[in-house]
Structures are given as structure tokens and as C-alpha cells.
Structure 1
Amino acid sequence: MEMFYYLVFGALALVVGSLEFNKTNKDRISTSAPFNAFKNNYLVVYSLMMAGDWLQGPYVYYLYSTYGFGKGEIGRLFIAGFGSSMLFGTIVGSLADKQGRKRACVTYCITYILSCITKHSPDYRVLMVGRVLGGIATSLLFSAFESWLVAEHNKRGFEQQWLSLTFSKAIFLGNGLIAIIAGLLGNVLADNLGLGPVAPFDAAACFLAIGMAIILSTWSENYGDPSENKDLLSQFKGAAVAIASDEKIALLGAIQSLFEGSMYTFVFLWTPALSPNDEDIPHGFIFATFMLASMLGSSIASKLMARTSLKVESYMQIVFMISAFTFLIPVIANFLVPPSNVKGGSISFTGCILLFGFCTFESCVGIFWPSIMKMRSQYIPEEARSTIMNFFRIPLNVFVCIVLYNVNAFPITVMLGMCSIFLFMAAVLQRRLMVVAESHRPKTQDWTSIKDKDMEAEPLNI
């Protein structure tokens, strides 16, 4: 492997290390011992949940290919996963608010473990069931755990600013360090020990089972809407009214969908973008480099959110603009540098430039996750938190399904250019969110008034 990759990885590691070990008092938030115990418990569980997810990612496509399925069949399996998340996401989100967030987190563990078990079968129908289960689990992963955390944090009377500390640490560990370790562990199991591509899925199931045991033994239950006679349709309607009646929630949902849609498109496109002529690139090492860049972003986010004078709504405009520019780099390079037709070989000079740009984007992703979590904790009403969060994922999943279906229809530069436009739109909407937020005094969402308005409103067709 070329020295270039080691230099990029080493430079990022040095920057991350210096940021973490040279924090000043301004970068630290003074907390209490009970909060630290609560935070550490959540971080352990969240890390185990993310380990179960990250172990699977690099081997899903490869496992399906070893079973003899072609690109079209594998594509349909992926579409089934995102489609399942889109169709069932709001349902499981509403059940989490109604039946309990702890119960929903346990359901996530069970559902994902069952999905892992299906990977042992080469039968296409069994694998399709596994993808559907995986889509449901993904909806719970990105809604139930955050909803439980926010509700439990508030119930225990901890300071609001401390929540940002938990968010930034969760992303630093779960989306950074754990992702790197999971990738290395999966490589050891599947390749070094010769256990095959199904071994990482078995390891993921073990981590999920350990996390589930900790949840069952240490977590308390919390709920969203406390009303006993409210059915799912009423919850959907209430969530829709909340989004429609509060511009801040609607803007937040649009921003999240635009950024995450671009992010998931990047997941599919970075490999062909860096190796358009089948250049020999170390995919696993580049993935670890991206995760290290994400850790850098989360470290920066923790510093930014530790300053009470700096608003999340303000600096995220800059983050979205930088993200938009990183996806313009391939478009600009396509015009300035003549494309090569030489097959194979090492990464090109253009590929090196793109790698730097993509690492910058991953750093923005590391800033995005704790920052969007912070904004969601401020603007989304507690009573329907999981339901609304999964409403936000509907346009995201529609977008990803469309991209997957047409991934070969457009050049990579066109797809990345489209993502750049989406990210610029996110920056504009973020500016609008800041203006709207500043024009209103900070106040708790009046869920009672929304429910009253819900009763007076015309029936919605959901």
C-alpha cells in the first residue's frame, strides 16, 4: 500500500489526538458524578449497538455476491432495506413513543439479531426477509435510542448543556472509533481467521445481545404521549400537525433529509469516484481513514457546543457550505484534468485530491451528527419525538431508493453535483432556521395546544 494513504491517516490521527488531549477549560463542561455514570452507561450501550451495525456494513454486498447473486438482485435487496425503513419507520417510531423507548431499543436488538441470522441462508427469500428486518432495525437505531436519552436526561434533571456532551461523545465513539475497530475485527474474522463473510454478522449478533442485556438490567422505561387511548393514526396525525404548525421542525426535517440523502449517496459513490479506471485502492484502509475524519469532526463539534455563546444554528451554515464545496471538487476536476483511460495501477493525482475532499466531507459528517441531535432535542416535542424523527426519514429513504435504482443511469460527477446542490439548499434552510429561532423566545413546545389544534383541523389522509 502506498505511503500516501499512511500519511493521510497519520495526519488525521495527529490532529484528532491533539484536539482531544489539549482541551482547555473553555472546551470542557463541568458535570456531576451522577450524570457521568448515566452518560457512560449510555455510551457503552450505544457503542455496542453501533458495533453491531458497523460489523455488517462492509460485508453485506460481498456476502450476497458469494451466494451467486448478481448486481441487479443485490440492488433489489438493498432497496428492500431502505424501503422497509421508509414504510415501517413511522410505525415503529410511534410504537416507541406509545409503548416505551426502552422496549423499542430491546426490539431493535432482537430484530437486528434475527436479521443477522438470516445471513446464514443462501435462499433469496430468506435474505429478503433479513433486509426487511434490517430496515426496521435501522429506523429504531436512529430514533429510539436518542429519544430515550433525551427523555431520561430531562427526567433526571440534568442540565441541558450536558446533553451536547453525550451527543458528541456518542458520535466520537460510535461513528468513529467503534467503526474503525469493527472494520478491523471484521477483517480478522472473515479473512485472517478464514471464517468467511458471514462471521462478522455472527459477531454483530453477539455485541447486540450484550447490549440488550445491559439495557434490560440498567435502563428505566420512558414514554412519549401519555394518553392511553391514542391509536397509531392519531399519533401520525399529531406528528404531522406538529411539523406543519412549527416552521422550525419542518426546516429541521428538510435539512436532515437533504444532508443524509447526500451522505448515503456518497457511501455508494466514493469507491467508483476514487477508482474510475479500476485503480487498486485499499478500500478498508480508506474507510478507516473516513471514520477517523468523522472523529475529527465530532471533536470539533464538542469544542463548538461547549461554548454557550456559539449557537449550533450559526456554525452549521458554514459546515453545510463546506460540504457542498467538497462535492464540487470532482465536478471541477473533471473539467480541468483530462480523464485517463489507462486501466489499473495506483490511485491517480485526481484521486488523491478527491480523497482529501472526501475526508473533509466526513469531518463535516462528524460535526453534523451531534449538532443535529442537539437541535432535535431543542425543537422536537417530547411526546412524539420518535414518530417525528422517523417522519424525517421518509424523504431520505425515498431519495436513496431512487439513487440505487438509477445508479448506472448518470455519471458520477452529475450525481455528486446534485448532492452539492442539496447541501447548498441545506445551508440556505439552516440560515432560515436560525432567523426563525432567533425571532421566537426560547420556550417549551406546547403539545397541548397542538393537540387542540389537531382536534379542530380537517382529517389528514395518512
Structure 2
Amino acid sequence: MLSDSLLVLFFGRLTGGVSTTLLFSVFEAWMISTYHEQGLHTSGLELSTVFGNMTTLSCMVAIASGNENFGKRSSEQTSLQDLKSGLSAILGDAKIMSLGITSCVFEGTMYLFIFFWSAALASARSQVGSTDDLPFGLIFSSFMCAMMTGSAIFTLQTSTKTVQSTTDMLMTVTLVVACCLSLAAMLQNEHLLFWALCLLEGCVGAYFPSMAHLKSELIEDGIRGRVYSILRFPLNVFVVVAHSLDVEGKQAPESSPSSLTQTSSGGNN
């Protein structure tokens, strides 16, 4: 991140992609496998509850870090056979394929949101002629509070923890996020845009435990790790293609100044 060399930065993103894939696949696969191996379901501990609490705790840590500051090892080995078995599991099961498509589009959009929310809010503020800086730390903490609320709603609303109830939750939050993004692309009022983004973050908080619970129910332990890793590939492609369509700064269309794909003057790069 501190280097001025483009090659070094590209290499950093390459290794960052590998580490992110491991972060979003290895730990979750290990936790689900251990949950079943230890028979923790017999103790009354629901796996979906674990996912909900995990997201809530993650949000709490993020809230604290966003305050304003003005002053057992897996024996599986990676091989071509593993890749083929993982692809066969995905392509041979329509439910897993649906989860993969949803994950690609939803999480890919979430990554784009991470890149552009600050520039979108700054652009909306500039439309009224204000030159005051946005309280980005406070805004980020507000987003994390909304995300934590979404996680809590998932825990409360899916008390039966069935595949159907979790699927309904996932479909609902996906629809709401689509609406929020549509509004964010049209809204020019800073406050309305902020609340639309907060609602989006609340849906993200419900999405992660919902998706994790469905994957734990639909994907077998023996192939879980490789399937999770394969599902990350189209997500990364989605993000790369979407970013290749970005238009920044003064090149952005003046007719939609609050668009999420327009960065403000001196915005994020």
C-alpha cells in the first residue's frame, strides 16, 4: 500500500485476494465441520445462532474502530481432482448454484458499495454548496450499527432456523438492497441518501448469517472448503468487471451527480 510501484501494488492485490478467499472460506468451513463432528446440535446450540452472534460481534468491533478521532488442521490437499469435485457439486445442485449466483451478485455489489459510499455522500453534500468535511468515522459507525441491527433481526425472525425461513430472509434482504441501490443512484439529498445506505447495511447484516446458515445446510462437509473457494472466483470477476466500467471525477455524467459510480473532487482512488 505504501509503494509507488504499480507492479508491487498489483502483487499486493493478488496476495490480498488469496488471503480474502481463505478468510471467507477456511474458517467457516472449519467451524461448520467441527460443529457437526462435536455433535453440538445435541446441546441445543443452533448453528444459525452462532452465525448471528458472529456477525453481531464483528459489527461491535467495527463500531468501536469507527469512532471519530480528531486528535484441528484440514488434511485435504489442493489438486485438480479437488477442483473437479467442487465444480461437480456446484453444477450438479441447483440450490448450491443459486447460492453461488446470489453470493456473487450480492457480495460483489457490497464491495462496490464499500468503494463508493464516501464519494456518493460527499457528492450529495457538494450539490448544496457545502464545503464542510463529512464525519466519516461517525457515518461508518452508524453503518455498523445498522448492520448489527440486521443481524439481530435475522436471529429474532428466523427462530425456527429452517432452510425455508432462512431462504425467505435472504430473498427479502436481496430485494430490499436492490431497492436501496436504485434509490441511492437517484437521490440527491444527503440525509435521504445516508438513510438509504443505512438500510442497505442493515440488510447486509441479515445477509451474512442467512447465507452462512444456508451453505451449512446445503453443502456437505467433505467438499465444503473447495466449494467455498470456487464460489469466490466469480465474485472477484464480478468486482473486476464492474470496476472496469467506472467513470470517475469530471468524466462522470453531470446529469447524475449523486450516482454511486461518480466520485467527488478529490474522492477515493
> 1: CA distance between counterparts of 2:260 and 2:137?
23
Within the alignment, does 1:183 sit opposite 2:30 as a pair? no
Quote the offset at 1:405 in angstroms. Answer: 2.7
Confirm or deny: 8 A CA contact 1:152 1:222 kept in the other structure.
no
Q: Partner of 1:401 in structure 2?
A: 240
Cα RMSD for the two superposed structures:
2.5
Residue 164 (structure 1) aligns with: 48
Report matched runs for 1:277-292 at 5 Å.
Answer: 277=126, 280-292=133-145
Aligned mates of 1:299, 1:374 — CA distance in 2: 15
Whether 2:4 is the aligned partner of 1:130: answer no
Correspondence for 2:149 among 288, 291, 296: 296
Counterpart position of 2:209: 370
Which one has the bigger helix percentage?
1
One-letter identity of the residue aligned with 1:381: E
Give the structure, 1 or 2, with the largest relative contact order (CA under 8 Å, sep 6 or more). 2
Deviation at 1:233, TM superposition (A): 0.6
230-239 vs 318-327, greater mean Cα deviation: 230-239
Give the residue type in structure 1 aligned to 2:171: Q
How many residues align structurally? 246
Equivalent in the alignment of 2:172 = 318
Larger radius of gyration: 1
CA pair 254-279 structure 1, distance change in 2 beyond 3 A: farther
Task: Report if the CA contact (8 A) 2:177-2:200 is conserved.
Answer: yes
Unmatched tracts of structure 1, length 5 or more? 1-59, 70-122, 193-219, 225-229, 335-349, 417-462
Residue 134 of structure 2 aligns with an amino acid whose one-letter code is I
- Cα shift readout 1:288-319 (whole Å, capped 9, x = no counterpart): 11111111111111112333467101222221
Q: CA deviation at 1:180?
A: 2.1
Q: CA deviation at 1:141?
A: 0.3
SS of equivalent residue, structure 2 residue 40: coil
- Residues 294 and 138 of structure 1: is their aligned pair in 2 closer, same or farther, counting only changes over 3 Å? same
Alignment CA distance shift 1:330-1:382 (3 Å): same
Say if 1:151 and 1:222, in contact at 8 Å, map to a contact too: no
Deviation at 1:255, TM superposition (A): 0.8
CA distance in 2, matches of 1:248, 1:329: 30
Matched, 1:221 2:73: yes
How far 1:231 moved relative to its partner?
6.1
Deviation (angstroms), 1:383:
1.4
Equivalent residues of 1:301, 1:367 under 8 A apart: yes
Q: CA deviation at 1:274?
A: 1.1
Measure, in 2, the Cα distance between the counterparts of 1:327 and 1:369. 18
Going from structure 1 to structure 2, the CA distance change for 1:279 and 1:264 (only over 3 Å counts) comes to farther
Alignment counterpart, residue 260 of structure 1, candidates 68, 90, 107: 107
- The 3 A distance-change label for structure 1 pair 325 and 124 is closer
With structure 1 as the length reference, what TM-score do the two structures score?
Answer: 0.49
Percent identical across equivalent pairs? 30
Q: Distance in 2 between matches of 1:327 and 1:180?
A: 23
* Partner-residue secondary structure (3-state), 2:83: helix
- Give secondary structure in 2 for the equivalent of 1:275: helix
Q: Please tell me whether the aligned partners of residues 223 and 383 of structure 1 are also in contact (alpha carbons under 8 angstroms).
A: no
Q: Assess if the C-alpha contact under 8 Å between 2:184 and 2:197 holds in 1.
A: no
Q: What TM-score comes out, normalization by structure 2 length? A: 0.82
Which is worse superposed, 307-316 or 384-393?
307-316
